[in-house]
Every structure is written in structure tokens, then in C-alpha cells.
Structure 1
């Protein structure tokens, strides 16, 4: 591959690697797409659409706060419904306040103020069609699949207009047009080691681990929405799928009971490592494992 473009956006490092150079006009289009997504869905920005919706819902006693539905709302929130059903409510798009209380807040304070469960009846509080409506002062967080969705959107801009192989990598959530591209499955407790290798061809690979975005005494970004407690049994997950949003979503689901069953229904390939060092995988995995 001849051209590499590295930048920071949405709080993470991006690497876009292509056979052919990406011109300035296309780079501006990619940057604009990322900015629009961030200003819509980021709970870390006071000026974002979801932050405004939360503020409006908190002040609208007994009524509903509503905004025109963003283009990605239905695609993402319908998948959240599947995630929630499959995991018994452990994955929930109204987990934002739970994360903030544990210290993963808009100011990145990393000060733990105790566990708080997310609203279990979230489908009654958050609805979407032509409008995105919130019925309580809860905070939307699309971290279970949002980065994967954005990777797909960026690849969708580049793939039709850049010849050859295109790889879009947002710090471990990546999608490839063309290939094959071999990617190591980083050991969650030793970044110098890999537990295996995935070969990605016209597909996406997403990973999640408790050592990423971790702080304090055993705190990290993967919470059980039912309790507000960090997950303890699974340390890392990897998923191969046709697109990055489903790979990202399944990688989140695999931290919980019901995750493997959902991955099977979706037809995605997966591997996960538990906190005691055991490795589990899909029965027909095509990933090469060093076990």
C-alpha cells in the first residue's frame, strides 16, 4: 500500500491506508463526515445533538424532548434493540449516565462516584422514527457500535473513489475493501503478544478489551447496564463480519451471556478471551489461534 493517512478524531487514532493517494477534496469529505457524526452522537460534547436532547429531556418535566431523527438513528438503535434482547438488557443505549458516574464522563474525570444502573425500560424512554424522542433525563451512549458505524461510513466514501485496497482503522475497529489484510489479535494483558491472526478480505474486524479505556481500581468502559458494574469474566473480544457496525456490536455482546448466540444468528466469526486466560471461539472460526 502506498498511501497512509493518520489523524485523531472522536477521541481515537485513525489510520487510513490505500494503494492510491487520497486527494485533499476527499480528505475534507471524510473529515466532514466524521465531524457530523461526532456533533450528532458524542455525549462528550456539550454542543452535540444527543447532549442537547438529554438537557431538554431533563428540563421537560412530564413531557418528551424531540429532535429530527439523524440519518444513523434507525440503523444503530434497531441493532441496540437486538443487543439488549440478546443480553437480557446488559447492553443499553441509555448507559451514558452509568459510565459518567464511574468516571468516564464528558470531562474525563475518572473519578468513581459509584454504580448506577441504566434505565431497564429504555425502549419506552427512547424512540425513533421521523423524530428521535427521549422521555427522561437519561444520556444516550452509542459506544457499543458507534465507532464501527462510523468506520463503515468512512469506507463508504473512500471505496468507490480510490482504486485498489482501502483499509480504515479506528484504533482496533477496522474495515477493508479488497485485501487480504492480516491483523494480529492483541493479547489484552501484553501488547507485545498476539493470541492469533485474522485475515480480513472485503470485511471488517472489530476488537474490544477491558485494558482499553481503563482507570482506577478495576474500572473500564464495558459496563453491565443492569448494574453499572464493569464486566469481570471476559477480558477481550474480536469479531469478523461483513461490516464494522455489526462487528463492533457483536464484540460488545460477547462480553455477556447471550453474545455467542447472537453472533451465531448474525453469522459472524468471533474469538474471546476470559480474564482467567481461557480462549473461546466460534465453532467454525476462520481466525488462526495460537492456542
Structure 2
């Protein structure tokens, strides 16, 4: 997926159990990377993009990702578009979805206190090992050694899209040009796959994405945004640490 992943488990368990839980997460994420990496010519998504694999012959995971991406395309008025930059690239959904699934696997295995961070897409449950909520710093979009917000959550997902690290990698599907207007978009909510897609869509919308995100709060998705000219906006229920 072109990024690094860190996993933190809060339970007091024997080392072999902790290693087994982490190994299961890593195995799953490597499986996702092998299937969905757009950097690998032999991945399932690359073969599908070249027309070498029919949807009827695709894995259940690929069919799910494409169906979910189509639903999000409708929900975002076309701004979340896995075809925005040309061949199909569902990375904007896959990373969040894969981490959401990984966290669910940990929960099913009995881990109630965990934190997974995949390149800034984060899913956490329960308590930090020191007690209290997990804390997440949202990077300042111009000064890498500072934060714009610090969030505190016991259970939830945090996804951030921005132009300050990877440059113009999000495109406005209406214009075909790189997104402009927003420098950083963070979405907090119950499901990382949705939060990740919403952050990507809002960034593609530009400043219109601020009002669009405000309407997502009713569904439990709060947001924090920094514009290209340095203005900051956040929704009323953003779980910012005191």
C-alpha cells in the first residue's frame, strides 16, 4: 500500500499471544497489499484494470471494494471516484477498509485495547496502555514538528488526506486537475473505510467540501479542515483533547 503500519496492543498478555495477534494483522495486510497494490503488475486489481480479469472471476474482496466504491461515488456526488486519475485505483478505500477489518479481527480474537496506524489512517479501541483514551496528533500542514489538533478517542477511526506530503495526488473528477482549496482534511467516525473515503472526497471538492463534511456529522462523522490559505475549521463534536 506504499506506507508503513504500526500496531499497538494495550492488553497485559504473554508475549507469544501478542506476537500471534500482531502476526495475524500483518498477514492480512500483506494479503491486501498483494491483491490491491497498483504498484504490482501481477496484483488482482492491476489485472482487473488491464481487462485480464472479469469481475465475475474476481475475489470476494475485490468485488466488495468495487461495490463499496460505487456506493461512495453516489454518496459523494461523484467526488470519490476510483477512476479519477485514469485506470481503476481503489487505494482511497482499500487502506481504510483493510485496517478496519484488521481491527475487527483483533476484537474477534479478544483484543479490546488496540491501535493500528497505516500511514495516518488510524483505528483504535479501548484504552491506551497508560490508561485513558488513545491520543492522536493531527500534523500541522506546513510545520511538520507541530500539530493542528490533538484528538482523544476510546473507540473510533481517524483518517487524514492532505497535499503536504505527497503533493498533488488527489484529483477533482469534475475538472481532471489536482484538487485545490484544502490543504488538510481529517475525518473522525465509527468506520475507517468511510472516514478515509470522506476525507478524500472532501479534499477533491475543495472549499465546498467544508459544508459537505458538516452534513456528515449527523451520521457520526466529525471533521477538521485546514484550507490552502491557512484557515481552520472543525465540527462541533470533534473529539479534541482538552
Q: TM-score, normalised by structure 2?
A: 0.83
Larger Rg: 1
Aligned to 1:253: 201
Q: CA deviation digits over 1:65-105, x for unaligned, max 9? A: 434343334544444334323443232112342xxxxxxxx
Aligned to 2:32: 37
The CA distance in 2 between the partners of 1:87 and 1:271, in whole Å, is 18
Aligned to 2:125: 177
The CA distance in 2 between the partners of 1:167 and 1:17, in whole Å, is 5
Does the CA contact (< 8 Å) of 2:214 and 2:235 recur in 1? no
Q: Which runs of 5+ in 1 are unaligned?
A: 1-9, 58-63, 98-138, 215-219
Aligned to 1:101: none
User: Which of the residues 149, 172, 186 maps onto 2:139?
Assistant: 186
Q: Which runs of 5+ in 2 are unaligned?
A: 128-132
From the superposition, tell whether residues 273 and 177 of structure 1 become closer, same or farther in structure 2 (CA, over 3 Å).
Answer: same
Paired residues, number:
228
Shift of 1:201: 1.2
The CA distance in 2 between the partners of 1:278 and 1:271, in whole Å, is 11
Aligned to 1:239: 187
From the superposition, tell whether residues 168 and 161 of structure 1 become closer, same or farther in structure 2 (CA, over 3 Å).
Answer: same
The CA distance in 2 between the partners of 1:33 and 1:249, in whole Å, is 21
The CA distance in 2 between the partners of 1:242 and 1:145, in whole Å, is 15
Does residue 267 in structure 1 map to residue 220 in structure 2?
A: yes
From the superposition, tell whether residues 43 and 96 of structure 1 become closer, same or farther in structure 2 (CA, over 3 Å).
Answer: farther
Aligned to 2:130: none
Does the CA contact (< 8 Å) of 1:83 and 1:253 recur in 2? no
From the superposition, tell whether residues 239 and 193 of structure 1 become closer, same or farther in structure 2 (CA, over 3 Å).
Answer: same
Shift of 1:274: 0.5
The CA distance in 1 between the partners of 2:109 and 2:7, in whole Å, is 14
The structure richer in helix per residue is: 2
- SS of the residue aligned with 2:147? strand
Aligned to 1:17: 8
RMSD value over aligned CA atoms? 2.4
